[in-house]
């Protein structure tokens, strides 16, 4: 599947882009996962929004990239979501790969911390994230804190 990526600060999002982001997040996190929670947490205003569109212009993947000291001391990735319409096609993997590329462009070679849903722990481990601490409940869903260290500099 070909994905067209867009990265924008909150202020640069169009009304339509913001609407489709909130629609996808609500479809998956609130409706599909049956989890009423306060999605508009104020962090969107401080972040970068990575949107992946298919050839028909459908938002198929999204996440927000947050600078240090917004969610954690480190840079973080949050609200990682792929459309149910494209599950199993590799969109989630492509989204995380693109997220890590964009973080490097924006912030350099830095550690990245996430709060991951427990069932995705192995997925994030495949991107060199390591679980730190015990699992916890967030909005009644098991989560773990994970950290991806900065890549060691190549001294060659």
Tell me: the pLDDT tens digits for 72-107?
999 999 999 999 999 999 999 999 999 999 999 999
Helix (H) / strand (E) element for 107: namely helix 91-107
Going along the chain from its start, the domains and CATH numbers come out as 4-109 (3.40.630.30)
CA distances from 41 to 24, 37, 147 (A): 16, 10, 22
Task: Report the pLDDT averaged over residues 4-20.
Answer: 97
Average pLDDT, the chain: 93
pTM score, two decimals? 0.93
CA distances from 127 to 92, 94, 122, 123, 147 (A): 12, 11, 9, 7, 10
Q: pLDDT over 70 for what percent of the chain?
A: 97
């Amino acid at each position: 599947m070909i994905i067209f990526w867009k990265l924008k600060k909150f202020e640069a999002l169009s009304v339509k882009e913001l609407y489709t982001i909130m629609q996808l997040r609500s479809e998956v996190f609130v409706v599909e996962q049956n989890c009423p929670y306060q999605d508009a947490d104020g962090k969107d205003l401080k972040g970068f929004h990575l949107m992946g569109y298919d050839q028909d212009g459908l938002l198929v993947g999204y996440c927000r990239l947050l600078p240090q000291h917004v969610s954690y001391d480190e840079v973080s990735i949050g609200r990682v979501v792929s459309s149910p319409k494209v599950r199993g096609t590799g969109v989630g993997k492509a989204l995380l790969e693109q997220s890590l590329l964009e973080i490097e462009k924006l912030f350099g070679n830095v550690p990245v911390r996430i709060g991951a849903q427990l069932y995705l722990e192995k997925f994030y481990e495949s991107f060199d994230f390591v679980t730190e601490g015990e699992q916890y409940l967030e909005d009644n869903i098991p989560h773990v804190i994970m950290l991806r260290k900065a890549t060691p500099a190549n001294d060659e």
